[in-house]
Amino acid sequence: MRFPQLVLAAVVGAGFVAAPAAAKDITVQMKNMGKDGMMVFEPAFVKAAVGDTVHFVPTDKSHNAETIEGMMPEGVAHTVGGMNQEMTLKLDKPGVYGIKCKPHYSMGMVALVQAGKPANIAAAKTVKLPGLAAKRMTPLLAQVK
């Protein structure tokens, strides 16, 4: 094979090498009423990749989004979104991220995001949540694979 053909073969072959997937932007709505009842995040469970970004958008007023202490990968800082403001969560580490709306936490307004491998799932399952929040979080935790 001559040099120009070798270079062409290398360039064409390089195009078939798997490139890393582009990070995704995922939107979760904060709603007064949704398919699962009152005071919900939709979707309540998100399976994402490390590197993706989740945007919690206040579709209805009087909501915020913030992480739940003990339900985040090790080394991830607690994040608190403002009332009636979008909260952005960059998924830099693999694991599960528990999310709540502080004003409606006792009413069960929780969500769960899985980024890659759920390294912290055992710890997340030990976190004590108030009544309806625990009832809604249990099936979300069961979706983690």
Coarse DSSP helix, strand, coil percentages of the chain, rounded to the nearest 5 percent: 25, 30, 45
The 8-class DSSP code of residue 77 comes to P
Q: What is the pLDDT of residue 22?
A: 87
* Distances 144 to 7, 50, 101 between C-alpha atoms, Å: 46, 15, 21
- Beta-strand ranges (E) seen in 2-130 are 25-34, 37-42, 45-48, 53-58, 66-67, 87-90, 95-100, 110-115
**82 CB contacts (<8 Å, ≥6 apart)?**
64
Q: What is the pTM of this model?
A: 0.85
Pick the CATH number of 20-142 from 3.40.50.720, 2.60.40.420, 1.10.620.20, 2.40.110.20: 2.60.40.420
63 assigned to a ligand binding site: yes
Q: What is the pLDDT of residue 18?
A: 52
104 assigned to a ligand binding site: yes
Backbone angles phi, psi at 80, to 5 degrees: -125, 120
Q: What is the pLDDT of residue 74?
A: 96
78 assigned to a ligand binding site: no
| 10-residue mean pLDDT series, the chain (145 residues) | 53 49 93 96 99 98 98 96 98 98 98 98 98 97 97
